[in-house]
Structure 1
Amino acid sequence: MKKNIITSIFFFGIILGCSRTPKSLEYGSEGCHYCKMTIVDKQHASQFMTKKGRTYAFDATECMLNHLKEIYPETVDLFLVNDYNDPGNMIDATKATFLISRNIPSPMGEYLSAFATEEAAKKVQVEHGGELFSWTEINTRFNQ
């Protein structure tokens, strides 16, 4: 019985250690890794986690994209962005749809917002205008 408990604890620890869940952002007190501004905007913040488990937080998606130009992106395991329509809810950036609209300001002035679905992004685009991008397309735009 005691051996089963120890084995269970051991495997539970391994599962937790292999988790792909970065730490929660501390809005209002945590600083952006790229520009050093305090992260307060729950509609535009982002973060990524490296394959070694280190998390980097950003006050805006554009800060994360600009930082990716300075590192090896292949070392990143998970990219997350806030869903514009669900502030504070982080979504997989590689599956998100991005909108650049001059009518929706973002913290660093790039007017970049992320949406969980293309349909959600299109609804906001109809109201505010702008151009839609996939993760690959937005990376290409920021790396030019």
Structure 2
Amino acid sequence: MRQNRKIRPQMGLLLLFIGMVTLLAACGGENYVPHIIKEETDVCVVCKMAVKDDQYATQIVTKDGQSLKFDDLGCMHTWKKENGTDTIGAEFVRDYHSKQWITYDKAYYVYDASLKTPMAYGVVSFEKENDANTFIKKQGMGKLMTAADLANHSWAVNRDMMKEMGEHGHSHSQDGHKKEPTAEIPNQQEGHPHTDEKNHETTGGHHS
């Protein structure tokens, strides 16, 4: 009887230890955090343009702790398409209003071809669904999307906007959007704006 009393506390400690190990395993045992943006040195991994410390910046933190930074969500999509997701530890975007980092899969997104983003992909991110819907209502246009929706998004580039930004320099406006939506954007093509996949010719950028 005394022996059983001694065993019970030991079993309790063992079960507690097993529970902690299981919890850590479920969490992956990793705590990926976004790195700060250094405007003086940071450039987009894909388009090589400067990454501004603004609401359009996104980043991937790899499983080995590297930070891959992008000036536009569309550039991050391009990197994932070209490199896969096996090395990704976490993905981060910024809330359009607060500019605080939020995880990619938990954010809400608004897309419209007339939304002005650094590489003219027209997608902006929000922490709260209500904020995204308010933005759509205020602007009078836009489509609400989730990370799952973006997986099937066309990622078309507004080439007219790219041409305009190319003429006036890299665009990181405070408004981040045009007040009036573009009714029709001809010559939109899927893929990254710097490369035409059909003829492999370099197209216009957004940096003078």
- TM-score computed with the length of structure 2 as normaliser: 0.56
Alignment partner, residue 51 of structure 1:
63
Alignment partner, residue 130 of structure 1:
142
CA distance in 2, matches of 1:60, 1:140: 18
- Structure 1: which 5+ runs fail to align? 1-17
- The 5-angstrom pairing of residues 5-24 of structure 1 reads 18-24=30-36
Residues 36-67 of structure 1 deviation map (CA, whole Å, 9 limit, x = unaligned): 00012501110011112111000011110111
Residues 73 and 142 of structure 1: CA distance in aligned 2, closer, same or farther (over 3 Å) = farther
Alignment partner, residue 47 of structure 2:
35
CA distance in 2, matches of 1:111, 1:54: 27
Deviation (angstroms), 1:103: 4.4
Q: Which residue of 96, 100, 115 corresponds with 1:104?
A: 115
CA distance in 1, matches of 2:41, 2:142: 31
CA distance in 2, matches of 1:136, 1:78: 15
Q: Does 1:67 align with 2:75?
A: no
Alignment partner, residue 106 of structure 2:
95
Contact map agreement 2:37 2:53 (CA 8 A) in 1: no
CA distance in 2, matches of 1:76, 1:59: 18
Q: Which residue of 121, 124, 134 corresponds with 2:132?
A: 121
CA distance in 2, matches of 1:112, 1:127: 16
Query: Partner amino acid for 1:112?
Result: V
Q: Which residue of 94, 99, 119 corresponds with 1:82?
A: 94
Alignment partner, residue 10 of structure 1:
none
Alignment partner, residue 12 of structure 1:
none
Moved over 3 A (4+): none
CA distance in 1, matches of 2:132, 2:40: 27
CA distance in 1, matches of 2:125, 2:40: 20
Larger radius of gyration: 2
Q: What's the secondary structure of 1:85's corresponding residue?
A: coil
Query: Partner amino acid for 1:117?
Result: K
Q: By percentage of residues, which structure has more strand?
A: 1
CA distance in 1, matches of 2:104, 2:40: 22
CA distance in 2, matches of 1:28, 1:127: 34
**Number of residue-to-residue matches in the alignment:** 127
Q: Which residue of 135, 140, 143 corresponds with 2:152?
A: 140
- Structure 2: which 5+ runs fail to align? 1-29, 156-189, 191-208
Identity %: 25
